[in-house]
Structure 1
């Protein structure tokens, strides 16, 4: 069935008389996810979350349109991991500038970037785009911090961990290798304490940090955990989409 709120699926017959309030751009990455998850994990997660949530908003009468997912992200710390694909932040800015130009010209003044990859950092890009396009409202969100993960998952992690494995077991179990293939996701930390405490930052050299490219133990992952987390994320995203559609850009603050 054609989903009229998904640009890649809809058609000119529908769009020629349509006008949207909010464009949503999922942005993922193509990279190794431990031994057992596909390179497109971030893209599958982001696209499923956004399209499911947009469908909920559309049923409420909100004019949302989901743009095709950008499947490459910033992977500068993984340059020696085979076929981990990298877009530099400057390239991301160039892509966004072109896409925002189209939206601005065609009267869609609200854009939400949905980030599915921890290596992407959209804050400085959104700041710069805000100067280029003063009539646009551009924002972004990242799904892992949306909920308290300890209420869903036993083990902490940030890459191919229990959370991501659970999501993929729910969304695309056909792409997840059998459990005996899963790596432990154990990872080294910096010897310099400040970087581990979070108030100083340096990029991790991934192949020196993890032996299986994962960071976080996936052992306790289940499809049921993934389904519960996914549904709760989508509920919150639907609320955000609806709020953005209804927002008066001249009255954003109180």
Structure 2
């Protein structure tokens, strides 16, 4: 198991007692090492109460979309999952990764932009600094977040990734970032629930559109059996991306897909 001695100097381990005292409404667990915080909470989904947050200093078996592996050095990133039980129509749960991304972007600051459906981008090149994975089990939804905080260029999994440190963002205290995220998530999630999961009435849809770098961009979307290229024009009421293919007047609604930004359109 990983311990605090394996965390490099300058990367402070998280203090579970401090987080427990300063994250009202959430029960935060900090573990030195685990395979996957999402898998941990999914295994407890039937019995765990809502509002539990599991944070790992080192995650060895994390998976993103399309089963991509993801490992961050101990203490370099903020890797956590939270369990909620939204009492809303499951057809609106497609907004949960978008809500999570928006809360994370607001916690980090105005430099952060979002790529539909689950990436946080930083810097002029739009490097990926965080990914989000949402999974459900019965009435429980587990939301996983992996954010590169002090990750160096040599530690990044791919050249197109980045971190808060590499982009010169001053706030690198992972406890501060986690508390800010949970506060932002709380507010957005409560408003969304109050409107029965309606992203329009709750203000979620408008705020997400404002923060989303995908909208107005030429995109390539890798689908299971084909690739779609076109202009990303909007997000529909179910949280799906609307893409207008080249040479066609109508838009296609996508519930999922691997999106690549090709070119920003004039706005």
Per the TM superposition, whether the score is higher than 0.5 is no
Hey, which of these two has a bigger chunk of strand by percent? 2
Instruction: Please report the TM-score for the alignment, with normalisation by the length of structure 1.
Output: 0.32
Hey, which of these two has a bigger chunk of helix by percent? 1
Structure number with bigger Rg: 1
